[in-house]
Structure 1
């Protein structure tokens, strides 16, 4: 990742290769690295997450939480639209470069409006978001115009993004923050979410790159996990640097590290490999959609941990404890779902102990809603729980076996020897009882 050009890039079939490979020769799997432009684009979401975190921290009431979730889904989906386009059609085409530069402007305007009250900023947010969707529709339209090979999937995505953009722009004419305006936003987001599911059978010729999309998704999780540290520092600023503050702050940092290990210590490309090798597009979509609640949970967890430090010893600390417990439970539950989704790609049953550990951790985290602890107790309990689950997952033989399976399938793709199924590649692995299970 040292420059803007990918190392040996050839993802699926880009728009300049509509005629296919000559003389029936199979296309060769090649690596696609994240470009500098994509990194710049993703950094906009550092600002967006920070604005959303401040918004939630200022007003944690039920209505404000619902508005936060709505805006978060919109922001996350704007990122997902750009990331999946690059993974499908390449990140070095003129269409992607110019479209992303235009999206950077619209997303910067979106970030500016996130913290304000919707009664004041609703119209501006809708206009900026509608502009982002128009740009996305134009990018897919450019792909669809290249020939019959692009119209099947890209044409349908163009129509969907165009309709979504129209809904957002029409909502800008309504009273800011009104129920009708928010209702149109919800309708637009539902259409955004459902379109890839409805047209999934048309996406076999436009599957995301198995290495590139997990890398982009992982970078976004790093941004979200980094936001926890930002919130911890901000919360500690209002307290004396003594043991009463440093111990819970250290525990919160340990929690973010344990969550990092829980997420990245997994075979994250298996669902995409299942889509490519076994044509199981639904597994790939489940993997992508599952990251929305996980990212949301991590951002909310950061707010709860940070505000717990700043409100230590006050009545507000109880509300922060509930926020921490609920968000950690959602994060662990989502990780359990993502692991189960990867396990089912293999087509075989494993004596996996990580999913039960994650589910048990979910229940224990939810239990924090029922007990009364001070800030230090909450942070130490959360850190101990996440570290324990992370250790169980890291030492689980199934974790290493799934990692080796992912590496094996990718190696076969790079060699031009695509397996008939992921399960066939699994049968070629050595006996798991002889494998190294070190963390």
Structure 2
């Protein structure tokens, strides 16, 4: 096959996305985020307190925003030519450097982490300007993106001049500007929407990455504890929780919320996109919780922190899935989607009560009850599909 090693960016329209799957480059690109998520999980597991959680969030959000920016650019403009591949290489190197800083924590690594984020945003700005130069019809969109991302990067640059915790405050302002930039360009986003088929696949792949932390948690939990019948049962049920959440997400994920952009409703579409950030955070913390529940002994009453980490993560995942499903057209009428969302909130409330009131329960009992709550959701979905 003959490959063109350089070609100017072009706008991918709906017809260009028909039958398009994730490219080999995109799959390879995601590997560096696998490493970054693993580093984040390792750090938080070793620093399970409010300070550790704050650091975990402070690092997780910018890394996810980097992935998001690169994904949105690629779904519109990537050509998989030499310039795209080199840009991807540099972005991967930057994210790898960000991942290296995680274990040092905010106190020792916040400056280096901020520099990495600034470099990534500069590269993304240059990519958008490059695309706008070669595709004049989208120049309004790429210019607003470049200005928005540039303004956000300025706040990150200012953060280098101030001490903690003010530094993180400037990070938050910069991130907020980055995430609100698509709303500032809503007229252009409506005119040149992202792919409603390619983006759901990309978000699905990232969801698989963070779900993998639960698998790793089960394996590590068993490896740190003597094998026994109860440990094996707990490990299997922990896997079933991850499997249930996988089922609930992937049995209905599609691009229907993104189609609202074409109707001018950027809020619902971007709400669906941004719901994946807390979902990714909670799925990762769930994996940490699973590891601690299994490794500390399934007949032991877990600490308050471990109980809240495990049950709270699952409860929030169910809430977020309920929110995502409320705006997923293909699940049915608004009434049906409301019922599905209520199902999710019901199980989330039950798991939340376990976090609050389950002090006497050992880890195995908690895992059993949470696994049942998640399996009930799968059963309700199966019943709904049979009825429909």
Shift of 1:188: 0.9
Hey, what's the Cα distance between the residues in 1 that align with 2:381 and 2:374? 11
Instruction: Check if 1:187 corresponds to 2:161.
Output: no
Tell me how far apart the structure 1 counterparts of residues 72 and 108 of structure 2 sit (CA, whole Å): 32
Aligned equivalent of 2:111, options 123, 126, 129: 123
User: Are the structure 2 counterparts of residues 267 and 100 from structure 1 closer, same or farther at C-alpha, using a change threshold of 3 Å?
Assistant: same
- TM-superposed CA distance for 1:201, in Å, is 2.2
2:72 aligns to what? 84
C-alpha RMSD of matched pairs (Å):
2.6
CA deviation after TM superposition for structure 1 residue 115, in Å: 1.7
Within the alignment, does 1:363 sit opposite 2:363 as a pair? no
Aligned to 2:151: 163
- Structure 2: how far apart are the matches of 1:30 and 1:94? 24
Worse-superposed segment, 73-82 or 308-317 = 308-317
Equivalent pair of 1:48/1:111 in contact (CA under 8 Å): yes
CA contact (8 A) 2:261 2:269 kept: yes
SS in 1 for 2:45: helix
| Structure 1, unaligned runs of 5 or more | 6-13, 21-25, 398-435
Partner of 1:145: 133
Residues 228-250 of structure 1 show CA distances to partners (whole Å, capped at 9, x for unaligned) of: 11011112211111013111111
Q: 1:282 aligns with which of 248, 267, 272?
A: 267
Q: C-alpha distance in 2, partners of 1:343/1:98?
A: 38
Alignment of 1:237-276 (within 5 A): 237-276=223-262
Q: State the TM-score, normalized to the length of structure 1.
A: 0.81
* Alignment of structure 1 residues 179-328 onto 2, 5 Å: 179-276=165-262, 278-312=263-297, 317-328=303-314
Do residues 395 (structure 1) and 383 (structure 2) align?
Answer: yes
CA 1:168–1:228: 2 relative to 1, 3 Å: same
- Describe the SS at the equivalent of 2:130: helix
5 Å-filtered alignment, 1:419-438, equals: 437=387
Q: Which residue of 2 aligns with 1:421?
A: none
Cα distance between partner residues in 2 of 1:104 and 1:381:
40
Shift of 1:148: 3.4
Summarize the Cα distance change of 1:377–1:314 in structure 2 as closer, same or farther, 3 Å threshold: closer
Contact 1:225 1:298 in 2 (8 A): yes
Query: Residues 115-161 of structure 1: CA distance to partner in whole angstroms, max 9, x if unpaired?
Result: 21211111111111111111111111111212531221110101122
Q: 2:187, 2:85 → 1: CA distance?
A: 28
Unaligned runs of 5+ in 2: none
How far apart in 1 are the matches of 2:331 and 2:248? 19
Distance 1:351 1:108 in 2: 40
Structure 1 residues 353 and 52, CA, compared in 2 at 3 Å: closer, same or farther? same
- Cα pair distance change 1:317/1:251, threshold 3 Å: farther
Q: CA deviation at 1:292?
A: 0.8
**Comparing both structures, which one devotes a greater share of its residues to helix?**
2
In structure 2, do the counterparts of structure 1 residues 153 and 379 end up closer, same or farther at CA, with 3 Å as the change threshold?
same
Report the more deviating stretch, 90-99 or 61-70. 90-99
Conserved 8 A contact 1:106-1:131? yes
Distance in 1 separating the partners of 2:202 and 2:63: 15
Alignment coverage as a number of residue pairs: 381
Residues 200, 255 of structure 2: 8 Å contact kept:
yes
